[in-house]
Each structure stands twice: as C-alpha cells, then as structure tokens.
Chain A
Amino acid sequence: MADLTTDFVGIKSPNPFWLASAPPTDKEYNVRRAFEAGWGGVVWKTLGLDPHIVNVNGPRYGVVYGADRRVLGINNIELITDRPLKTNLEEIARVKKDYPDRAIVTSLMVPCEEWAWKEILPQVEDTGCDGIELNFGCPHGMSERGMGSAVGQVPEYIQMVAEWCKANTDMPVIVKLTPNITDIRYPARAAKAGGADAVSLINTVSSITSVNLDTMSPEPSIDGKGSHGGYCGQAVKPIALNMVAEIARDQETAGLPISGIGGVTTWRDAAEFLALGAGNVQVCTAAMVYGFGIIKELNAGLSGWMDDKGYASVAEVTGRAVPNVTDWQYLNLNYITKARIDQDACIKCGRCFAACEDTSHQAISMSEDRVFDVIDEECVACNLCIDVCPVEGCITMEELQPGDVDKRTGRVVEAEYANWTTHPNNPAAKAAE
C-alpha cells in the first residue's frame, strides 16, 4: 500500500486531502464529521475581526449544470465566517485536541494593517492549530472592503502582509492566491519574497453563472439583483492546473510548496495536481455536491494508482509532470501524427466529419454508406475528431516514423527534434547549432 501521509510545510496529515476554507469547514460540527469520514485536514473557514460580518439572507449559490443536472460549477457570494471570533477559536481548539493527527489550518482575513494581524495571530496560535492560510483570494464582497482578492491582486500587499505574519507568528504561513489576475507568477513571487512557507491556489474565479431571462436578474438573485460571485468546481480545474504548473516551473518560485485547489472531484484530479507540483490538494465543491463520503474514493483511488505505478509516497508524485510543461516555442515540430479511425469501433454518428468539414481541415471523408476515413493529405492532426468522437478509443493519433512521408506537406519525417526557435519561418530564428 502506498503511503498517503503528507508533510506539507511541517504540517502532517494522514492523506493529502484537505477540505478547503469554505462552507464545509465553517464550524466544529462539520469538521468533526469530516474527520470521522476520513479527511486528512481542513482549512477552517476564514476568520475575521469582530464585529463579525453578515451574509445575505437569500440564495448564496449559483450553478452550472451538465447532463442530468450534474453540477459542473458553483459560484457563491458567501462571505467569511459570520460567527464571533471567540466561538470559532474555541471550536478550533476543541477539535484539534480531539484530532491531533489531522491538519487544521486556520484561514484569516483582516484589514491590511499590521495591528489587525498582530491582534488576531496570537489568538489563533493559542488554539493549537497547525498553520494559517491568508485569504487573499475571495473575489466577492470582502474585496470591496479592501480585503480578499483586493490584496491578492497587488503583489506588494501580498508580500507586506506575508512579512507581517511571519514576523508575528511561528506558525507556517500559506498564502492563498486569486486567479483573477493576468499572470499568477507575480503574486506567487511576492508571497515567496514575503517569506511565506507555501502558496495555495486557486481561489474562486469571478463569475456570473446565469441570468434569469424572465426577471433579467443575474443568479443567484437577491431581490432582483445579483452580484458577481466566486466560481469553483470541475469547470475551473483547467485554469487551476495551469496556474499551479506556472508557479512550479517558474525559476523564481520553483520548489515553493503548493497546495493545489480547483475542481478536485476524483482521485485522478488530485493526482494531476500533484504531478504538476502540488504537495497536497484541497477540496470543496465535490464535497458540497456529494458530501464527505467521497474521501473514501479519493483515498482508495489515489492509493491504488500509486501502487500500480510504483509510487511509494505522495512526495514521489509531486512535480513528476513539471519537466514536461514547456513553452509552445519548444514543442517538437517534427512530431507528426495523423488521425486513425477504427472502423470496427465506429458507430457512424458522423460527428468527426461534421467537426472536421465545418470547422477544421476537411480531412475526413464520408461515403454514401457512412464510412468515415481520414484524408492524410489534409489532416493536420488537430485532435478535434478525437475530442468529439463519442466512442473512447475509436479515433487515435498515429505517429509518423522518421522516413515516412507526411502526405499533407510531401515532406519526409525527420527524426531530429526541431522547434519554432530554429524554424525558417520565424523572423527571430536562431541558427540551428
């Protein structure tokens, strides 16, 4: 059995699955249920200074559905904890005492002034929790008050607050990053420069999930009006994976521990975050949709895959795919493939034909009796036919071998790696030597 225990910036947990700072970790009752279900840790829902904030009293969530009302994404306009600071601190202390082997990290959001951090940090430390996560991410509500993503969008603020925290507590400091920026590397570098022990990302994406076309109000609607919320769930995973990878491969932040967040729904999602450089993952939406019981699938699935692949520990998985994340200009232009359709597997729906004929390269032929074939002379190997084919494995990409002729270009496939930087069409091409 693979070892799922993790040591993330000194915080130990029996598995790499933490519940993210969010409604599931709002209070003692939920967190105890999570730990009983088997979650490795929690990031307690964000604390602020008293007087505590209030939430809207109408709907807080909007949703995007896939087939069969499967939840693909949720957005929320819920703010940080709406309970007194003392209540939260007492509960954190009680739960940590009863579950010493689980990770409890406390999420914090207070005004961007040092006195505020100096006031709250010792109180949090007294609970015995394992670390703090600075919520620089929430895009709604708190950002209008100069907190949340309003801090996360200004690298100088990130660095400043991180420095204050490092100066005023011995607990590990994790900086949670907002994706609502143009280049995730700048806030990550700022966090590192401020002395942060790790970053966690992504927080939610600014969003409007839908508009009620009868009332013309965005959803969720509060008395006929809507406000942008934070989008999360499976739909945001590709955005999160890219941002995690960008930080992992940036020379300035390489090696900075990353807690991966954003649409982790199955063990496979988690493994992908780990491979792109995350040391652990945080989960929220999947738990909100299916309940805490999914932890059994997450643990069993990750463990089984690691056994199959011979990975003894989570740390061995972390960053495995990072060397393979590169810039476009370094992709091998001599790697040439052609689509191949397995006629026995084909069910003759013609989606590949419609997609290629209407929107790609007119590289699939269709006979009167609905046999679909690839026209090598036209196929650029774009992959769209595979993407739209409803039968897994029916269409595949075949790699042309050195010496083969690419019928589209008439050129013989070369064995040597060659990329854009040396391509003759590149005005800035360097001599290939």
Chain B
Amino acid sequence: MTNSPRTPGVVSGRLSDEALAQNFSDLHPPYDGHEAMVAADRCYFCHDAPCVTACPTTIDIPLFIRQIQAGSPEGAAKTILDQNILGGMCARVCPTETLCEEACVREAAEGKPVEIGRLQRHATDSLMAKGIHPYDRAEATGKRVAVVGAGPAGLACAHRLAMKGHDVVLFDARPKPGGLNEYGIASYKTVGGFAQAEVDWLMQIGGIETVYDHRLGEGDLTLTGLAETYDAVFLGIGLAGVNALSAPGTETDNVLDAVGFIADLRQADDLSSLSVGRSVVVIGGGMTAVDAAVQSKLLGADEVTMVYRRDRAAMAASGFEQDLAASKGVRLMFNAQPVAVHGNGAVREVEFEHTESGPEGLSGTGETFRIAADQVFLAIGQTLEGAPEGLEIERGKIKVDPSGRTSLAKVWAGGDCATGGDDLTVTAVAEGRDAAEDIHQTLTA
C-alpha cells in the first residue's frame, strides 16, 4: 500500500490487500446447510405463487424451496435449472428485491421476504459442487445453429439447442465467454471466478463448439454468411456501445465509461494495481452507475458522488442498490444534470445544473454547481452497436416477436440487443431459452 484514499489524482494501491479482499468479498455469503433449512422453512408454499409469476424465467420457487426443506438441494437445483440454466448466476445477480422477493407474501406480511435468491444459490451451488450436470442431449437432429454472443442469452439458447440434439457453434467477440456475467456486474456479486465455472459446467451438455475473439461483422464472420452456412442463427450480441455525454469537456482525461471500468475490475488479477480517483463522480442512475460508484469506493476513493438527473423514485437502480451504495459511503444526488466538464488536461470539476420535472418533462432550473472530481464515470446507458445490415431496428434494438424472431428469416435474437427485455440477466436467459424452443420447433417441423 503506497497510497491512501486521500492521495490526489488517479492512483492505484489506496487500500491494503486485506482491506481490498474484505471489500470485494461475497455480498451475500452462501448459506450453510442449517441456515438454508431455516430460511426454507419460512416459505409458505403459496398456491399459484406470486414469486413464480414475478420470475422472468418462471422458476417453480415453492417447489424448489420445498425440495431444500426435504433435504434434496440437488433436486431443487434441477427444478431451477430446468427453467433457467444460469440459475446459479441469477441467484447472485438478480435484483430479487424487485422480482420474486418483492412478490413474496411474507414481504407483504412482514417486510421480510423469504430469501429466494440465497436459497436458489444454495441449491445450485450444492449441485455444481458435486459436479452434476443433470441433462443429456437428445438424439442428433443433424441441424446446425450459430449462436452469436456467449452472454446469458446466447448461453441459455446454446444449451437448450444442444439439449434438443442440435449442433451449436457459439461465437463471441471477447476472449472469454460469459458476456456481462464475466465483464459486467460488480465483482462482489459473483466472486471466485463463478462466471467461468458456470460456463464450464453448462458446456458439459456437449455439442457446443466455441469460437472466441471473433466479432460479428469483422473478418469473415457476417450474418449473411452465417445464415447461409447454418440452419438458424441466434443473435445475443448485447449492447456494445455506450452513450456519450453531450456536454463540453467530455474529452478531458479521466472521463471514462463505467462499463469499461467494471470490466477492467472484473478482469484484474490484482485489485491493488487498479487506479481510482480520490474524488470520483459517477453520472447515471442505473445498476451500472451503482456498480461503478460502489466499486470506486471499495477500491479506496475518498469521495464518491453519484449524480442522477431525475428524482430518486425514477432511478433504475433498486432501493436495495441505493441503500447498498449509501452504506458503502457513496453520496447520492438527484435532480442534477451535467452541463460541463472542467479541467486542464485532466478533469478537475464537473458542473451540474439542478433540474425539475414539469409537464413538458425534465428541464434545467438554471442554477448550477460544481463537484470536484479527478475521475468521472459515465453510466448513462448502453447502445446497440454493430447490428448487421438488414435487421429491422426499433427504439435502438433489434426488433423481435415474442418468440425471438427477427425481421430476417432464419435469424432470432434475444437479450439486451433485442426489443422486449429489460436488460436483466434473468430476462436474457428467458429470451435465449424461448428462442431456442422456437428454433427447435422450426427446424423439426
């Protein structure tokens, strides 16, 4: 540790190795066996349970919790994975507080839901620890499907297709599979290399050939080529672009996109080698903004301020995420929009204007203020980038029908790149899975 939180500028090594290890440990540590039993016993086994309705992948939650109660965590895992092959990751990263746990009747009754996410993790961890992959491939169909993008949507699609007996070739632009599971998501939500372990486990199904470091639209990897070569194509390419800030000064040094910062952090072998500012400003109000702000603080930034242009209620980050940020010492500011980045070479201050909501939408009040910053992270949304020609685009995403079919024959899409989702891992899994079912129906009709 050569620096401290108050060392000026953007530097590494602000905290000791012990403090960093502590800060980036598991946000929700796994249950031990008895804790899981006690937690499972709280489930009422509701009829037509609201938690199931709230789950984008429609996991039979009361059933899997009952299986944990009955001492069969591996059976519980099978119930989960039947619906959501990335149930292990979703157990860690799902905003359960706005999905299943918000719907839990015990949330209504006591403000304390059954901890479905942690129970799901207990089940899936138990199964994976035993090295069990409870699925076999159906008889070979002789059909070949290209899946582009090895993120949650692509992985779910590839697994389901392989299980149905199709041969899958899975492409990804990055050197590793996993998509945002590997390159996005705060690291305290998925510790211990879980994203790769889960992909390795998923690949045990067999029949999935992987081609990494190949980006669609570069070299000979084109959608037209794939559509000619394969019986079907699934696009799960995510949102590779990031929105830029339309304010003067954004070219200043140390004004960075939050997505890249999170990816660097996830890929770092040594957290003490990562640089972070003394005063960090994060602009945005979603999960990415929270992940960047919290992790800046955990890396040792002295002051971290998250600024969102609308009010708290409009924030995409859940109440839990907001509280998490606040508890780590992040300052949350609302109703302020950036108007300029100041600095000579490197950023020194960000200037904001207060906003208010009116009948015509959000508008600036004219009153401005400045926040000192030696590092700024932009988390104001990601965009579809590199979508192949010929696909119909709607509101910046590839237009798909409820089965995931695009405007092109033989081409399906799902996950963040496609319309219909809400940019959650769990939704991407559901879309990949459902597209695979539709592809299977189509190819075997």
- Is B445 positioned at the interface, with any CB of A under 8 Å from its CB? no
- Is B362 positioned at the interface, with any CB of A under 8 Å from its CB? no
Interface contact B50-A370, CB-CB below 8 Å: yes
Contacts of B44 in A (CB 8 A): 349, 351, 390
Q: Roughly how many angstroms separate A348 CA and B106 CA in the complex, as a whole number?
A: 10
- Is B130 positioned at the interface, with any CB of A under 8 Å from its CB? no
| Nearest-neighbor residue (CB-CB) of B107 within chain A | A347
In order of increasing CB-CB distance, the 5 nearest A-B pairs are A350-B47, A354-B47, A67-B41, A347-B109, A349-B46
B residues apposed to A, CB below 8 Å: 34, 37-38, 41, 44-50, 105-106, 108-109
Q: Which of A67, A349, A370, A391 has the most CB of B within 10 A?
A: A349
Interface contact B106-A347, CB-CB below 8 Å: yes
Contacts of A391 in B (CB 8 A): 109
Of the residues A68, A348, A351, contact of B45 by C-beta under 8 Å: A351
Q: Roughly how many angstroms separate A143 CA and B105 CA in the complex, as a whole number?
A: 51
Of the residues B37, B41, B48, B108, contact of A350 by C-beta under 8 Å: B48
Contacts of A350 in B (CB 8 A): 46-49
Q: Roughly how many angstroms separate A14 CA and B76 CA in the complex, as a whole number?
A: 54
| Nearest-neighbor residue (CB-CB) of B34 within chain A | A69
Size of chain A's interface in residues, with CB distance under 8 A?
Answer: 14
- Is A8 positioned at the interface, with any CB of B under 8 Å from its CB? no
Per-position binary interface string of chain A over residues 346-382, scored 1 when its CB falls under 8 Å from any chain B CB and 0 otherwise: 0111110110000000000010001000000000000
A402 CB → nearest B CB, Å: 36
| Contacts of A55-114 to chain B: CB distance below 8 A | 67-69
- Can you name 15 A-B pairs with beta carbons within 8 Å? A67-B38, A68-B38, A69-B37, A347-B105, A349-B44, A349-B47, A349-B105, A350-B46, A350-B47, A350-B48, A351-B44, A351-B45, A351-B46, A370-B50, A391-B109
Interface contact B106-A351, CB-CB below 8 Å: no
A174 CB → nearest B CB, Å: 40
Contacts of B38 in A (CB 8 A): 67-68
| Contacts of A298-348 to chain B: CB distance below 8 A | 347-348
Q: Roughly how many angstroms separate A348 CA and B104 CA in the complex, as a whole number?
A: 10
Contacts of A366 in B (CB 8 A): 47-48
Interface contact B47-A351, CB-CB below 8 Å: yes
| Nearest-neighbor residue (CB-CB) of B109 within chain A | A347
| Nearest-neighbor residue (CB-CB) of B69 within chain A | A67
Contacts of B34 in A (CB 8 A): 69
Contact A348 B48, CB 8 Å, known A67-B38, A68-B38, A68-B41: no
Contacts of B109 in A (CB 8 A): 347, 390-391
Contacts of B108 in A (CB 8 A): 347-348
A192 CB → nearest B CB, Å: 46
Q: Roughly how many angstroms separate A299 CA and B46 CA in the complex, as a whole number?
A: 39
| Contacts of A210-260 to chain B: CB distance below 8 A | none
Q: Roughly how many angstroms separate A67 CA and B41 CA in the complex, as a whole number?
A: 6
A130 CB → nearest B CB, Å: 44
A265 CB → nearest B CB, Å: 19
Contacts of A353 in B (CB 8 A): 47
| Nearest-neighbor residue (CB-CB) of B53 within chain A | A370
A209 CB → nearest B CB, Å: 16
Contacts of A68 in B (CB 8 A): 37-38, 41
Of the residues A67, A69, A348, A351, contact of B50 by C-beta under 8 Å: A348
Q: Which of B37, B45, B47, B50 has the most CB of A within 10 A?
A: B47
Contacts of A354 in B (CB 8 A): 47
| Nearest-neighbor residue (CB-CB) of B45 within chain A | A351
B186 CB → nearest A CB, Å: 32
Q: Roughly how many angstroms separate A391 CA and B105 CA in the complex, as a whole number?
A: 11
| Contacts of A249-277 to chain B: CB distance below 8 A | none
Q: Given contact pairs A68-B41, A348-B105, A370-B48, enumerate 16 new A-B contacts (beta carbons under 8 Å).
A: A67-B41, A347-B105, A347-B108, A347-B109, A348-B108, A349-B44, A349-B47, A349-B105, A350-B46, A350-B48, A351-B45, A351-B47, A353-B47, A366-B47, A390-B44, A391-B109
Contacts of A347 in B (CB 8 A): 105-106, 108-109
B4 CB → nearest A CB, Å: 46
A337 CB → nearest B CB, Å: 24
A28 CB → nearest B CB, Å: 37
B363 CB → nearest A CB, Å: 38
Q: Roughly how many angstroms separate A366 CA and B109 CA in the complex, as a whole number?
A: 19
A300 CB → nearest B CB, Å: 28
Contacts of B47 in A (CB 8 A): 349-351, 353-354, 366
| Nearest-neighbor residue (CB-CB) of A70 within chain B | B41
| Nearest-neighbor residue (CB-CB) of A390 within chain B | B44
Q: Roughly how many angstroms separate A202 CA and B109 CA in the complex, as a whole number?
A: 40
A66 CB → nearest B CB, Å: 9
Q: Roughly how many angstroms separate A365 CA and B49 CA in the complex, as a whole number?
A: 16
Contacts of A69 in B (CB 8 A): 34, 37
